A = this chain, B = another copy of it.
Amino acid sequence: MRPSIKQVANLAGVSIATVSRLLNKPGSVSAETAEKIHRSIEQLGFRPNFTGRNLRAGNSRTVGVVVPTLSNTVFAQCLQGIELAARELDYSVMFTTTEYLPEDESAAVELLLGHRVDGVILTVADAGANATLDLLEREKIPFVLTYNQLALGGQGHVPPRASVSVDNRAAACDAVAHLIRLGHRRIQMLSGRFNASDRAIQRYYGYLDAMQAAGLAPLPAIEVERHTLTAATDYQQMMADPALRPTALFCSNDLLAMSAMRDLRALGLRVPRDISVMGFDGIPVGALMEPVLASVVQPSERIGDVALRTLVAAIERGAAAAAAGAAPVEAARHVLPHVVREGGSAAAPAQS
C-alpha cells in the first residue's frame, strides 16, 4: 500500500490533521512543524490520494467527456481543446466514446456518473429528445453539449440546456450560397445519417435556405453510411449519368467530402472541372490538399475550450448555490462564428 497521510503524520510525529492542514492551507502550520512534515513527505514519497479527498469533499474535480468517435478529427480537436482548458483550470478529464450509438450514450454517462464526475461535456446523436440528457438533468449534473444545437423553444417546456456550437444552419447556408455565387444551380447535398447527427439535419435546412433564397430547386439529401459512398447506389447512378449529375456537391462533413472526391476521381470525374465539392468542418488537412477543400470552418478546438470553461463555471456556480441555498440554473447557448474557406475544390461550373 502506498503511504497515506497517516504514515506521514507518524513519521513527523504530528497528527494527521496537521498534515492535512499543511497540504490545504500551509499558513496555519508553524514553520518548524511544516519543515518536519515536508521532510516526511519527501522521505516517504507521499502523494495525496484524490480518492479519499473526493469521497470526503463530494466532488472530484473531474469532468466527463462523451464524443461519437475520435476517428473524426473534429472531435479529436474538440477533446484537445477541452483537455488544455481543463489542465489550466486544474480539472481532470475522463473520456468516452459512443461510436454514434445512442444506447452507448447512456451507458457512457452512467459510467461517468458512477465515477462522480462534477460535470459532463457531450455530443449526442440527437439533442432534441434524448434520454441521456434527461438523466443528466434529473441527476442535476451540469453538462454542456458540443456541436449539438438546441432548437429554441420547441413545443412544451424545453429545459434550458447549455451548448457550444456554430450556427449549423446558417453555416451550411453560407456554404451553399458560396456555391450558388460561383454559378452552380444544381447542387446536391451528401450527408451522414440524419438519425446519427442532428447537426446534419440542421445543415440540410441550411442547404434548403440557400437554395430557396436563390430560387433554386432543392434536391433531397442523399444520406450515406459513414464515409462509404460505394454502397450508395442511387448516388453512384446519379454521378455516372451526365444528365442527372449535379454541378456541385455539398457534403455535411469534410471526411465525407474527401471520400466523395476520391470516388469521383475513380469515376473519371475531375474536381472542380467536372464537379465542385464543398465540405463542412474545415479540418486542417483539407487546407493541405490540392485542390484545397472548400469548406465551412468551425473552430473545433475552441468549441472544446469554451465548453469546458462553461462547464466549470456551471459546476462552481452550482457548488456556490448549494452552499448558499439557492440553485439558479442558467444555460448558456454559445454560438461561435464560422468561416467559409474558399478552396480550389469549389469553382465555377463548366459552361454547358
Query: Using a CB–CB distance below 8 Å, which chain A residues touch chain B?
Result: 1-2, 45, 47-52, 54-55, 58, 60, 62, 69-71, 73, 76-77, 79-80, 83-84, 87, 92-97, 110-111, 113-116, 138-139, 255, 258-259, 261-262, 265, 284-285, 287-290
Contact = CB atoms under 8 A, between A and B. Distances in A.
Contacts of A111: 92
Contacts of A83: 70, 95-97
A110 B286 CA distance: 37
A87 B97 contact: yes
Contacts of A262: 287-288, 290
A244 to B, nearest CB: 24
Question: 9 tightest CB-CB pairs across the interface, nearest first?
Answer: A76-B76, A70-B80, A258-B288, A70-B76, A95-B95, A51-B55, A262-B288, A50-B114, A83-B97
A87 B80 contact: no
Given A1-B58, A76-B76, A255-B285, 7 more contacts: A45-B139, A69-B80, A83-B97, A93-B95, A94-B95, A258-B289, A261-B288
Nearest to A49: B116
B96 A94 contact: no
Contact of A71 (B2, B45, B80): B80
Nearest to A84: B97
B69 A92 contact: no
Contacts of A71: 76-77, 80, 284
B110 A47 contact: yes
A58 to B, nearest CB: 7
**Most B CB within 10 A of own CB, among A71, A95, A262:** A95
Contacts of A92: 94, 96, 111, 115
Given A93-B94, A262-B288, A290-B265, A114 B47 contact: yes
**Most B CB within 10 A of own CB, among A50, A70, A285:** A70
B87 A79 contact: no
**Most B CB within 10 A of own CB, among A51, A52, A96, A262:** A51
A77 B139 CA distance: 32
B48 A114 contact: yes
A95 B97 CA distance: 13
24 contacts: A45-B138, A45-B139, A47-B110, A50-B115, A51-B55, A52-B55, A70-B70, A70-B77, A71-B76, A73-B73, A73-B76, A76-B76, A79-B95, A84-B97, A87-B96, A87-B97, A92-B96, A92-B111, A92-B115, A93-B95, A93-B96, A255-B285, A261-B290, A285-B285
A285 B258 contact: yes
Given A111-B92, A288-B259, A60 B70 contact: no
